[in-house]
């Protein structure tokens, strides 16, 4: 990968030439191609989709459905299995609401201790606390397989799990976990949060064999406000629509309403048309770079960063998650002495325009019960990051130590 060439694809680096952006796990930057594609919609064929019989509406509809096809091919699905939402949070909540009637009163939901609040709170609200089975992690951030096998039983109707932890970077062996879960309970429904995996590695949804897979556009060079649900067709058809309104109905009378087929059945109202079309452009952009190239690049940066942090700061730095680079994505969370992560992030920003994330990263149970810290500092890499960024981070952390010691 020629990073200098890639960085030229992003206007934000031209407008902020000294920017060191290390927060792509929260939101990735957006290349000019995606912005231009969205502007093209607004400038040249700005119309609502599906309803119009005039030329502009037909063009918008075609572009929107082309984006659906691009997303489907990107993960190895068919276009009828792709539902657009406003983000991963909306996707998970849509599934939770849609499955509400299928979850019996005595069944349980299994979830790991490392989940983002978006994949924790909806299920916590859906069932009582004694029906929510929390799967443990070991000290290195991996799922405890023995505990996993104990927590999945014939009464476990649903397993929901992140493909990659947004705090630890751990790449969970989804195919293996799905296989184990379905051997124990063939009727179990498995939902995978792919928000942190889809931007960074090739996804073959058929190989994973999960029932639902969700992710967001804004973490993969796309716009904010767009999310995706992949689902097995028979399960998508069984979901109760969370929203009702235009575009998802077949017939409406004073006494009865019937719904149309998926995917429209689960896409009520006017969608984020420009955003979805922008996601289609982002998919093409990432495919041209190559997901395997992205994964390799991030692994090299992770190794370089670990070595530099330990060499420079020794035991003052504690890095959480797998030590084996092969088992983690481009996310690295750490503590630095007793310095508060908010102070670290603030100094890094003021010192050298370095953007990192500080806090519990919407994973408070993980921090409180597993890591046993209030907060961590998180850096996360993507296609535009280089070793130079890491070197600037090290210089910034030296400044942190000088100021706070």
**Distance between CA 292 and CA 200 in Å, rounded?**
8
Q: Where are the alpha helices (DSSP H) in 290-340?
A: 291-313
* DSSP structure class, residue 368: I
C-alpha distances (whole Å) from 378 to each of 111, 194, 313, 321 are 23, 19, 16, 12
**Distance between CA 301 and CA 325 in Å, rounded?**
10
Any residues with CB less than 8 A from the CB of 330 and at least 6 apart, and which? 24, 25, 169, 200, 298, 299, 301, 302, 380, 381, 382
Domain boundaries, the chain: 3-28+290-404, 34-288
Nearest to 228 by CA among 240, 242, 212, 239: 212
**Distance between CA 114 and CA 371 in Å, rounded?**
10
Tracing tokens 């979830």 back to the chain, one arrives at 111
pLDDT of residue 2: 81
pLDDT of residue 1: 66
Cβ-count burial of 48 within 10 angstroms (0-12 exposed, 13-18 middle, 19+ buried)?
A: middle
Domain 3-28+290-404 has CATH 3.90.1150.10: yes
Radius of gyration of the chain (CA): 22
304 CB neighbour count, 10 Å cutoff: 14
Cβ distance 65 to 79 under 8 Å?
yes
Tracing tokens 């019960």 back to the chain, one arrives at 369
pLDDT of residue 140: 86
Tracing tokens 């508060």 back to the chain, one arrives at 340
Q: How long is the chain?
A: 405
Nearest to 64 by CA among 308, 356, 263: 263
pLDDT of residue 130: 87
Spell out, as residue ranges, where the chain has pLDDT lower than 50.
none
Cβ distance 162 to 219 under 8 Å?
no
pLDDT of residue 103: 85
Which residues are known catalytic residues?
362
Question: What CATH number labels 34-288?
Answer: 3.40.640.10
pLDDT of residue 101: 85
- Edge to edge, the sheet with strand 357-359 lists 317-320, 331-336, 376-380, 357-359
* DSSP structure class, residue 328: B
Phi, psi for 20 (deg, rounded to 5):
-115, 100
* DSSP structure class, residue 370: I
Cβ distance 218 to 87 under 8 Å?
yes
pTM higher than 0.95, yes or no? yes
- The pair of structure tokens assigned to 364 is 């408070």
């Amino acid at each position: 990968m020629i990073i200098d060439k890639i960085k030229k694809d992003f206007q934000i680096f031209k407008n902020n030439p000294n920017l060191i952006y290390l927060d792509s796990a929260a939101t990735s930057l957006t290349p000019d191609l995606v912005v231009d594609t969205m502007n093209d919609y607004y400038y040249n064929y700005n119309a609502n989709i599906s309803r119009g019989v005039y030329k502009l509406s037909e063009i918008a509809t075609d572009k929107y459905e082309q984006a659906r096809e691009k997303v489907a091919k990107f993960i190895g699905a068919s276009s009828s299995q792709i539902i657009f939402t406003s983000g991963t949070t909306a996707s998970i909540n849509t599934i939770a609401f849609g499955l509400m009637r299928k979850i019996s009163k005595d069944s349980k939901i299994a979830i790991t201790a490392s989940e983002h609040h978006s994949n924790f709170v909806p299920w916590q609200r859906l069932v009582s606390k004694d029906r929510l089975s929390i799967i443990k992690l070991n000290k290195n951030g991996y799922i405890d397989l023995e505990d996993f096998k104990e927590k999945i039983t014939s009464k476990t109707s649903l397993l929901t799990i992140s493909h990659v932890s947004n705090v630890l970077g751990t790449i969970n062996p989804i195919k293996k976990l799905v296989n184990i879960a379905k051997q124990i309970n063939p009727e179990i429904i498995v939902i995978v949060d792919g928000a942190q995996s889809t931007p960074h590695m090739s996804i073959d949804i058929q190989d994973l064999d999960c029932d639902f897979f969700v992710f967001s556009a804004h973490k993969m060079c796309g716009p904010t406000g767009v999310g995706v649900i992949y689902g097995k067709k028979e399960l998508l058809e069984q979901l109760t629509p969370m929203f009702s309104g235009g575009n998802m109905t077949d017939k409406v009378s004073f006494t009865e309403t019937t719904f149309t087929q998926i995917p429209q059945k689960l896409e009520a109202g006017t969608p984020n048309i420009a955003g979805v079309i922008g996601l289609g452009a982002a998919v093409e952009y990432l495919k041209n770079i190559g997901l395997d190239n992205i994964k390799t690049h991030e692994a090299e940066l992770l190794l370089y960063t670990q070595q530099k942090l330990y060499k420079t700061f020794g035991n003052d730095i504690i890095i959480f998650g797998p030590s084996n680079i092969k088992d983690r994505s481009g996310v690295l969370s750490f503590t630095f002495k007793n310095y508060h992560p908010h102070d670290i992030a603030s100094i890094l920003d003021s010192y050298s325009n370095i953007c990192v994330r500080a806090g519990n990263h919407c994973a408070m149970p993980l921090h409180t019960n597993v890591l046993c810290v209030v907060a961590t500092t998180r850096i996360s890499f993507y296609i535009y990051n280089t070793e130079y960024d890491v070197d600037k981070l090290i210089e910034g952390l030296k400044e942190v130590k000088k100021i706070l010691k």
